[in-house]
Structure 1
């Protein structure tokens, strides 16, 4: 069931963005969110990736994708990926989101110019599509449309996680924006 939840962001972006696909996914996603309960997917009060002492930090600016749903043309933001002896920390910060809506981000193994980030980054390729094998960040936009969260993973991605993609939780096929990390 969790694979259904996560599959929307993982494949070829050329078939993403269909309003019908988004409507179909909406029900399935909300029904399957319980499958991910208890998994580390973000803490807005955690130390942001760009503030981790002694870490190697990569930064990326979010760029809008053609697969974004209507009304998401003002989304802007930054993502950071830090690697330290304690593992990997990822932070996303965005504005221009819909107030009160839930969003999810995933690390990706390809740059934004390649199918909107291509497949999800996995520590063990072909392994589970859930944390801790993948890095997911879930957050809710505040009343001003701002969303920010940080997640930690005890393993290092190296330079294999090259981008992060954000999309609405209710419409996983609608990738809003992607940020390439500058290593």
Structure 2
């Protein structure tokens, strides 16, 4: 039974069945040798089919566990990317709010910090220690002392708006008894 005959030969059905079985076994052996070469490249081909199947099962299980780990890592990284994108958007919004506040404060500062009005002209006198300025302790002076370096420039106009508000003074600073 070395040579397989074509199927058209009906008188030798036993020989054709043996031939088919031999071809099937040869294909199985070829597949097992391919599997052995895949599992252990560079080593001689194993002929123990049970050992090959056991090794294949181990490799497949290992690959499945690695695949699951990679999938979990990927999902975790995708969640982290979502969180970082949301945080980035929040920071952008905060940056825009702060930028708008800064521009508004700069605008207010420009409108409020215009050049202060010049001090009123002083009449020339020769009574003080500094020519052209009245003395600090003049006999006819009112109770308000004049300090020569400051003159009569009112300082209340330079106070912030919140300092001039006296509506909450009784709550913040109760009167002394």
Which bin holds the TM-score, normalised by the shorter protein? under 0.3
Higher helix share: 2
Higher strand share: 1
Larger Rg: 2
Query: Structure with the greater relative contact order (CA < 8 A, sep ≥ 6): 1 or 2?
Result: 1
With structure 2 as the length reference, what TM-score do the two structures score?
0.16
